[in-house]
């Protein structure tokens, strides 16, 4: 009986592995069509200056509207796009569309907000990442490279050669763009990255913000990171601010910028625009 059971188990295991592989294959196939069939859209999440509550930047977040499955999370499809190399054409589309949108907002509202775009490990690792193409796209739009921030995650820096990454990041900066280190604090050697790579912003990962309290250890960590960043001439963005308490603790700690549901969710352009038109202070009112 034990033997039969064992066989059954391994049978279930194999089946579910097979199902997973099939689901994955299907998603990869669908991903190939997604660009041509205009299934991607961009959301923009406001990043506010914590001392004024005003929107100074917007992070671009990719959305895939799958014809059958509905909205698929980037956490699910970005890894697939990376493994298969599709991320390169998707990444170019994101960059072009995000910068086009912000150039339009600048014209319409006369505002100087910066747009940040997430860049994948697979995009950076690719030697042919076309800085010249990106630059000429900005020229065509009449958008200064100073308005563009590229966000890279710590994770990606681990498994790639330092030198090549360094060169890629320097190429962005030589072109006049700025670089943000995303999800800071979650990697293996966060501090050594600060020494090795030329960056402009550091984004404190939302896992540190989630557990912030006046007497907890995460406040000490955030305070120390902010102090360190400022000493190195970097600006700090805190991610995932959901409560008034988190906002107040971070502002008191001297954090420069913040983003999170407390201020606004990631928004479709049509929902983002009213915030631009009013020059809104997104901080919560007293009480």
Q: Site residues (CB under 6 A) for ligand C2E?
A: 45, 60-62, 73-75, 78, 94, 118-120, 151, 182-183, 206, 239-242, 259-261, 266
Residue count (the chain): 287
What distances in angstroms separate CA 29 from CA 22, 26, 73, 81, 144, one per listed residue?
11, 5, 17, 10, 37
Tell me the closest approach of the beta carbon of residue 247 to ligand C2E, in angstroms. Answer: 11
CA distance linking residue 172 with residue 176, whole number of Å = 7
Please name the helix (run of DSSP H) or strand (run of DSSP E) that holds residue 46, with its range, or none.
strand 40-49
The pair of three-digit structure tokens given for residue 23, joined into one six-digit string = 């689901």
Nearer to ligand C2E, 2 or 271 (CB): 271
Q: For Mg ion, how many residues bind (rule: CB under 5 A)?
A: 5
Q: Which residues from 200-259 bind Mg ion, rule CB under 5 A?
A: 239
**Rule CB under 5 A: is residue 30 a binding residue for Mg ion?**
no
CA distance linking residue 201 with residue 237, whole number of Å = 7
**Rule CB under 5 A: is residue 118 a binding residue for Mg ion?**
yes
What distances in angstroms separate CA 151 from CA 58, 118, 281, one per listed residue?
12, 5, 25
Q: Quick one: what does residue 256 bind among ligand C2E, Mg ion, none, with the CB cut-off 5 to 8 Å set by partner type?
A: none
CA 66 to mean position of chain CA atoms: 21
CB 24 within 8 A of CB 80: yes
Q: Which residues from 130-189 bind Mg ion, rule CB under 5 A?
A: 151, 182-183
Nearer to Mg ion, 150 or 249 (CB): 150
Tell me the closest approach of the beta carbon of residue 59 to Mg ion, in angstroms. Answer: 6
| Segment contacting Mg ion by CB under 5 A, of 70-78, 112-120, 219-227, 269-277 | 112-120
Q: Quick one: what does residue 242 bind among ligand C2E, Mg ion, none, with the CB cut-off 5 to 8 Å set by partner type?
A: ligand C2E
Q: Which residues bind Mg ion (CB under 5 A)?
A: 118, 151, 182-183, 239
């Amino acid at each position: 009986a034990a033997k039969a059971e064992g066989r059954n188990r391994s049978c279930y295991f194999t089946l579910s592995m097979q199902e997973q592989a099939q689901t994955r294959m299907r998603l990869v196939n669908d991903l190939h069509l997604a660009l041509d069939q205009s299934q991607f859209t961009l959301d923009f999440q406001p990043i506010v200056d914590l001392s004024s509550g005003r929107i100074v930047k917007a992070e671009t977040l990719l959305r895939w509207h799958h014809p059958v499955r509905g909205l698929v999370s980037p956490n699910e499809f970005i890894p697939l796009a990376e493994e298969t190399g599709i991320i390169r054409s998707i990444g170019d589309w994101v960059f072009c569309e995000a910068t086009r949108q912000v150039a339009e907002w600048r014209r319409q509202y006369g505002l100087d907000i910066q747009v940040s775009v997430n860049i994948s490990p697979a995009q950076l690792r690719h030697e042919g990442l076309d800085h010249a193409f990106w630059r000429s796209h900005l020229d065509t739009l009449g958008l200064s490279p100073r308005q563009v921030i590229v966000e890279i995650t710590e994770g990606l820096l681990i498994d790639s050669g330092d030198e090549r990454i360094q060169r890629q990041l320097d190429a962005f900066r030589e072109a006049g763009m700025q670089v943000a280190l995303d999800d800071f604090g979650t990697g293996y050697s966060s501090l050594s990255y600060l020494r090795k790579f030329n960056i402009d912003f550091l984004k404190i990962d939302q896992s540190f913000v989630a557990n912030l309290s006046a007497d907890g250890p995460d406040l000490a960590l955030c305070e120390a990171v902010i102090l360190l960043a400022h000493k190195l001439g970097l600006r700090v963005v805190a991610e995932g601010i959901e409560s008034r308490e988190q906002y107040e603790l971070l502002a008191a700690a001297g954090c420069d910028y913040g983003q999170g549901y407390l201020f606004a969710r990631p928004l479709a352009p049509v929902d983002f625009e009213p915030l631009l038109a009013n020059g809104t202070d997104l901080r919560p009112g007293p009480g």
